[in-house]
Amino acid sequence: MAEPMKKKKRVDPKKDQAVRDRLKKKLRRMERAAQELVPIEDFITPVRYTDGDRKRAAVTLSEEEEERRAHLMKLWAAYKQKEHEAERATVRALLASQEEALRELLLEAPALHRAALARDPHLFPFDREGPRHSPPIPGYEAPEGKYKDVTRVYTQVETKR
């Protein structure tokens, strides 16, 4: 069942080197060209909305008023930070006292501890009853499945330097 060995192909080292050089050149060209960003249409405001018919003129504030408003913003930020820190401290204290109470309960009555850790299904009632499907819309004709694709396709334009 022996077969003669297949003749090995001779690889020309010059051709092999030329292929490698072409690939390196292609990689260098790709690295040199910066990636073009695709424009996002959602951030581009249509011209019809920027027609310049403003209802109110922009208010110019005096320097004192700007300083007063900046000072008020700083005071408000400091107040909100203190409020946030106080709320976090309260939550931390409540959690610590709850954990301590659970530890004590575990030492006193393990059965009550397991019952305290069990989930209460009536704590947040969730009613699953409701219609199984939406009622039909009178006069509605389902589409045939044909649609017009309006997706924009962007292509990278390679620039020569």
Summarised one tens digit per residue, pLDDT across range 21-52 is 999 998 888 887 766 676 777 777 777 777 66
Distance between first and last Cα of the chain? 62
Helix (H, G, I), strand (E, B) or coil at 149: coil
Task: Give the model's pLDDT for residue 116.
Answer: 92
pTM: 0.40
Cα–Cα–Cα angle for 26, 12, 18, rounded to 5 degrees:
15
Residue at 148: amino acid letter:
K
Q: Are 105 and 113 in contact (CB under 8 A)?
A: yes
- In sequence order, the 6+-apart residues with CB closer than 8 A to the CB of 46 are none
User: Looking at the predicted structure, is the pLDDT value of residue 159 above 70?
Assistant: no
For position 161, what pLDDT does the model report? 58
